[in-house]
Homo-oligomer: A and B are copies of this chain.
Amino acid sequence: MFKEKTLKSNYLFNGKVINLRIDEVQTYSNRTSTREIVEHNGGVGIVAVEDGNVFLVRQYRRPFDEIIYEIPAGKLEKGEEPLNCAFRELEEETGYKALDLKLMTSIYTSPGFCTEKLYIYFCDKMTKTETNFDEDEYLELIKVPILEAKKMILDGTIKDAKSIIGILMLNDFIDK
């Protein structure tokens, strides 16, 4: 099947979170076109379950100027292993240290224009430690019965893609 050929790549922005790259490409109809590509390092999300409750964090998200619900999550540092990132982020955002993490799946959030790939982990074995919030974050941690979390997906309260996917896939990981 057809793959576009890259004729030229040009970086317009190199940031803390994203880079912006404009590719000049040769399309399948042999024309020249440009593609706007947002480069993102990717990240992790963790579906952490304790006594039938799933951990959610409420936090402010500037793109929507809203406080939204998400599973604990965070960005990969350059060269970081997703599994290590998941251990780190779970502890930073919940104050719980995972004893074991299982990869549920990995997803492309916006494959049309963005390189972001997220690894979603399942955790049902953890111990309480101290909470160390990320320097620049403001989080509220809540615990919600799994069935309630599923209702929050159906009624539109949980809108974040990785969180929806992790919670909807729980049936295939719990009690295993």
Contacts and interface: CB of A to CB of B under 8 A. Distances in A.
Interface residues of A, number: 63
B61 A28 contact: no
What is the copy number of this chain in the assembly? 2
A12 interface: yes
Contacts of A109: 109-110, 161
Contact of A138 (B1, B20, B114): B1
A115 interface: yes
A88 interface: no
Interface stretch (A29-37, A46-54, A79-87, A123-131): A29-37
Contacts of A27: 136
Interface of A: 1-4, 12-13, 15-18, 20, 22-23, 25, 27-28, 33-40, 58, 60-65, 67-68, 70, 75, 105-117, 136, 138, 140, 153-154, 156, 159-162, 164-165, 168-169, 172
